[in-house]
Structure 1
Amino acid sequence: MNFDLTADQAALQERVHAFAQAEIAPRAEELDRNGVFPTELYQKLGEMGIQSIPFAEEYGGMGLGIFEAVLALEQVARADQSLAVSAMVSMATGLTVARFGTEEQKSRWLPDIVSGKKTCAIAGTEPDAGSDTGGFKTLATPGADGSWKLQGEKAFITNAGTDISSFAIILAVSSPRDAESKKFTLFLVPNGTKGFTQGEKYRKLGWRSSDTRPLYLDACEVPETAIVGKPHGGRWVLHKGYQAARLFLAACSLGLAQASLDHAIAYAKERQAFGGPIGRLQLIQEMVAKMALKVDSARLVTYRAACGVDQGKDDMMALSMAKLHATETASEVANMAIQVHGGWGFMDDCPPSRYLRDNRVTTIGDGSSQIQTLLIARECGLDVRFS
Structure 2
Amino acid sequence: MDFALNEEQLELQEMVRDFVEKEITPYAAEMDRNNQSMPGLLEKAADMGLLNVIVPEEYGGPGLDSVTVAVIYEELGKGCAGVATSMAANSLASYPILIAGTEEQKQAHCDLLNDGKLAAFALTEPGAGSDAGGVATSAVKNKEAGTYTLNGTKAFITNGGIADTYLVFANTRKSGGIRGLTAFIVPKGTPGFTVGKKEDKMGIRPSNTCELILQDVVIPEANRVGREGEGFRIAMNTLDSARPFVGAVSVGLAQAALDCAVKYAKERKQFGQPIASFQMIQSMIADMAMKVETARLMVLKACWMRDQGLEFSKEAAMAKCYAADVAMQVTTDAVQVMGGYGYSREYPVEKMMRDAKIMQIYEGTNQIQRLVIANKILY
**TM-score, normalised with respect to structure 1:** 0.94
Deviation at 1:182, TM superposition (A): 3.7
User: Are the structure 2 counterparts of residues 248 and 39 from structure 1 closer, same or farther at C-alpha, using a change threshold of 3 Å?
Assistant: farther
Q: Distance in 2 between matches of 1:131 and 1:262?
A: 34
Q: Does 1:157 align with 2:157?
A: yes
Aligned length: 378
Q: Which residue of 1 aligns with 2:276?
A: 279
How much has 1:199 moved relative to structure 2?
A: 0.6
- The Cα shift of 1:27 comes to 0.6
Q: Deviations over 1:65-98 (max 9, x none)?
A: 0111110010011011100010111122123323
* Cα distance in 1 for residues equivalent to 2:161 and 2:39: 12
Aligned to 1:308: 305
Match for residue 257 of structure 2?
260
Q: What letter is aligned with 1:81?
A: A
Query: Structure 1 stretches of 5 or more lacking a match?
Result: 383-387
> Are residues 251 and 178 of structure 1, via their aligned partners in 2, closer, same or farther at CA, if it must alter by over 3 Å?
closer
Shifted more, 56-65 versus 357-366: the winner is: 56-65
1:189-338 matched pairs, under 5 angstroms: 189-338=186-335
The code of the aligned residue for 1:15 comes to M
Q: What RMSD, in angstroms, separates the aligned Cα atoms of the two structures?
A: 1.5
C-alpha contact (below 8 Å) 1:120/1:166 kept by paired residues:
yes
| 8 Å CA contact 1:3, 1:303 repeated in 2 | no
SS of the residue 1:380 aligns to: helix
Mapped pair 1:174 → 2:172? yes
User: Which residue is equivalent to 1:353?
Assistant: 350
- Tell me, what secondary structure is at the counterpart of 2:40? helix
- The aligned runs of 1:69-108 (5 Å cut-off) are 69-108=69-108
Q: How many angstroms apart in 2 are the aligned matches of 1:132 and 1:3?
A: 37
Return the alpha-carbon distance in structure 1 between the equivalents of residues 212 and 86 of structure 2.
Answer: 17
Deviation string for 1:317-349 (max 9, x for gaps)? 100100100000000000000011110111123
SS in 2 for 1:345: helix
State the match for 2:127 in structure 1.
Answer: 128
Q: CA deviation at 1:263?
A: 0.4
Distance 2:72 2:295 in 1: 16
In structure 2, the partner of 1:385 is: none
Verify the 8 A CA contact 1:147 1:223 in the aligned structure 2.
Answer: yes
Q: Do the aligned partners of residues 179 and 20 (structure 1) sit closer, same or farther apart at CA in structure 2, a change above 3 Å counting?
A: closer
The structural deviation recorded for 1:224 is 0.2
Contact 1:254–1:295 (CA under 8 A) maintained in structure 2: yes
Q: Which moved more, 1:333-342 or 1:269-278?
A: 269-278
Letter in 1 for 2:164: S
Deviations 1:204-230 (A, max 9, x none): 101111000111111111100110122
Counterpart for residue 36 of structure 2: 36
Q: Which is further off, 242-251 or 319-328? A: 242-251
Q: CA shift at 1:262, angstroms?
A: 0.6
Q: CA deviation at 1:374?
A: 1.0
- Checking the alignment, whether the CA contact within 8 Å between 1:28 and 1:79 is kept in structure 2 is yes
Alpha-carbon separation, structure 2, partners of 1:36 and 1:64: 28
8 A Cα contact 1:139 1:152, kept in partner: yes
Give 2:139's aligned residue: 140
Letter in 2 for 1:170: V
State the shift of 1:18 in Å: 1.8
Q: Against the structure 1 CA distance between its residues 107 and 173, is the aligned structure 2 distance closer, same or farther, given a 3 Å change threshold?
A: same
Q: 1:21: how far off? A: 1.4
TM-score, normalised with respect to structure 2: 0.96
For residues 280-337 of structure 1, the C-alpha deviation after alignment (integer angstroms, 9 at most, x for no partner) is 1111111111100000000010000011111111221100100100000000000000
> Using the alignment, how far apart are the partners of 1:303 and 1:9 within structure 2?
13
Matched position secondary structure for 2:362 = coil
Give, in whole Å, the separation in 1 of the partners of 2:27 and 2:260: 16
Distance 1:349 1:89 in 2: 29
> Does the C-alpha gap of structure 1 residues 181 and 30 become closer, same or farther in structure 2, counting only changes over 3 Å?
closer
Residue 367 of structure 1 aligns with an amino acid whose one-letter code is G
Tell me which amino acid in the other structure corresponds to 2:165.
F
Cα distance in 1, alignment partners of residues 18 and 178 from structure 2: 51
8 A Cα contact 1:160 1:167, kept in partner: no
Separation (CA, whole Å) in 2 of partners of 1:48 and 1:82: 18
Distance 2:6 2:296 in 1: 17
Q: Give the superposition deviation at 1:181.
A: 7.1
Q: CA deviation at 1:178?
A: 4.9
Q: Give 1:367's match in structure 2, choosing from 364, 370, 373.
A: 364
| Distance in 2, Cα, partners of 1:58 & 1:227 | 22
Partners in 2 of 1:257 and 1:110 — Cα distance? 31
The aligned amino acid for 1:341 is: M
Distance 1:309 1:270, change over 3 A: same
Distance 2:176 2:171 in 1: 11
Instruction: Could you tell me which runs of 5 or more consecutive residues in structure 2 were left unpaired when the two chains were aligned.
Output: none
Checking the alignment, whether the CA contact within 8 Å between 1:146 and 1:223 is kept in structure 2 is yes
